[in-house]
Structure 1
Amino acid sequence: MALIQPSHSLYTRAAVDIGEMELESGARLEHVEMSFERVGPASAPVILICHALTGNQMAAGTEQSPGWWSGMIGKGLPIDTDHYQVITFNVLGGCHGSTGPASLHPTTKKKYRCDFPAITIRDMVHAQYKALNQLGVHSLHAVIGGSLGGMQALEWGLLHPDFMKQIHVLAATPYLSDYGIAFNHIGAQSIKNDPLFDNGNYLSNESLKGFEIARMAGMVTYRSSKLFDQRFERRKKTSQGFDIQSYLDYQGNKIKTRFDANSYLYLLEAMNHHDIGRGRNGWKEAARNYKAEVYTTSFENDLVYTKPLIESFSSSVPKGFHKHVETDYGHDGFLVEFDKWGNWIQRNLTN
């Protein structure tokens, strides 16, 4: 296990080898590594953070390179690293160090690409569970995640119901709606039908215009029309284009520099099949089986993960608690405006 230890003595980035793994499909991965970030006192209660679609293990980050949730995790913040040890894994199927389509097959020494087997949210959780055991972590104070991370948190509570005290689910529903699957389909088809995709054997992300379009389609669902109108006000950056068009072009280009298109497709497909009720007599029956406290948070203007469904789920859980956040940010609400809901997380963690 190779360790990277920045100047902060309580901070570690590493990769842990969990060996062979059988997936839900019956396929086997010969060798699986899980990359992670770990911050906080070694003796403190452990909180597991699960990241969203294009996230990674860098949730807290460092002072020089802040993570995607640096406004939530750290000294004096809602997830206080003076009091908790925080671990975040790059998901199985990801592209930031954990085994995924961009990894080398241990036998062929070539990238898996589209030969990588299909994965599910449950596979991701099983991989994290094995990794935690390798790290000597045999219980959790809480599992916390938003969007795809929230799907993982939901599965954690059913696959390992006695492993944690609390589950915090932000901007995620017990199953992905048809509306969500529809937008994922647009993104996936944009990538797959790019002439340079070549059945996943593309030379580089930089060549894939379809990946740009997929990201643009996703960005439109993440925030509200009101926020777009307030931010861009039909301003024109040039005589030929509007600011909103330049913004989407920028986001489309940016994703290609930090994410693998094949991983994107695999994670979209895992999201599509997310349903806590699969094989458990439906989601309402499954919801009755949570032993941990389950704290759900919905965000106003979230087009895909709606308040009514999240509230309905929460009311079906034995120890379910719900908060709705008024925001123009929509689905991206769990990544911003921490002053509106961070104290909800902080207060409940001390219960």
Structure 2
Amino acid sequence: MEENRQLWRFSTHTAMLEVAAKECYGVHFELFSADAKFVVYTGDKDVSGLEILDGAYRRFNIRLPAQVEFVFLENRHLVEASLYPYFTLLGQSLGSVVLGCEALLKCIPDIYIDSMGYAFTLPIFKFLGNCHVGSYVHYPTISTDMLSVVRSRNPRFNNATFISKNPFLSNIKVVYYYIFAFLYGLVGSCSKVVMVNSTWTKNHILALWGCNDRISIVYPPCDVQAFVDIDLETEPRENTFISVGQFRPEKDHSLQIRAFCKFLKKIPEGPEHYYLILIGGCRNLEDEERVSHLKKLCEDLNIADNVEFKINIPFQELKRHLAEATIGLHTMWNEHFGIGRVLQDSLMFHVLTRLPWDNLLAPSLMLRSP
């Protein structure tokens, strides 16, 4: 990097800019001076930069204090999970290498920070682009828990039933996961600065990347200040369960619906007094199809009148639902303390969750007590 160069370029990959912006904007303005130049790589070609920024404000109540430029990429389809029905992790990682090369050819930054989990792009920018590289990790691409699931042959969203029931295929997948975990640790070690969003993520990244001397926890930069003026004691509450999270398979929304169905069958006053609201974002057609399947599940369980879906809603509407609901619901296995969980903790009287124990024990995570 040239010593007299005045403009720094901050770069990140994103497949859903408004969500990634929420996670990373709380980080980068603390790191650089006001004259820094910020560049964001994005594959969202059907929107303009202004529309992305307006979307971030509408959905997260964040208005950026500095100008951000956008570099639009053509090959984002190479990192879509639907393109790789088998060996998905490897396929997406190799696809991210191609996407990273395209990004580097279009804009060579001084500092590159990946906030989307494309760790395999780090050596591309470090060695080919001669950039300083860093990472903000929401959730590790692979974890020791994922290895444990395959070894124990438990069927999960990332471990198909036909594999978990077959010892030979399970052993092959274990070997594949170990090789991938080694490669993931190798590329992750290129990161000069590592930021993670929770204690749980930190422990897994330490086990895989070996970066104890350069890792920091940066908790999700949620706008909880917007909730401070709400009086939790006097605000009227409805008999509503609320779930906040993107409609991805690991969020396990179907478990929430089935659990809510069982709850309705056990209450004496009747199901018409209780509701479940599922709030989340859809990144692509695959997520939209997942929502359609969830709606069909509600119909099959005869609880469609008690379940509402709120897709990509504005921040003010999200705030209203959180203030009115009584119980927060979160069913992701090994939840990494993301934005959805923080928002629920800020306003919910009761939260039912599968949050890891080490995250629950961190006293600094207590944003406010109702």
Q: TM-score normalized by structure 2? A: 0.35
Q: Which has the higher contact order (CA 8 A, sep 6+)?
A: 1
- Give the strand-richer structure, 1 or 2: 1
Larger Rg: 2
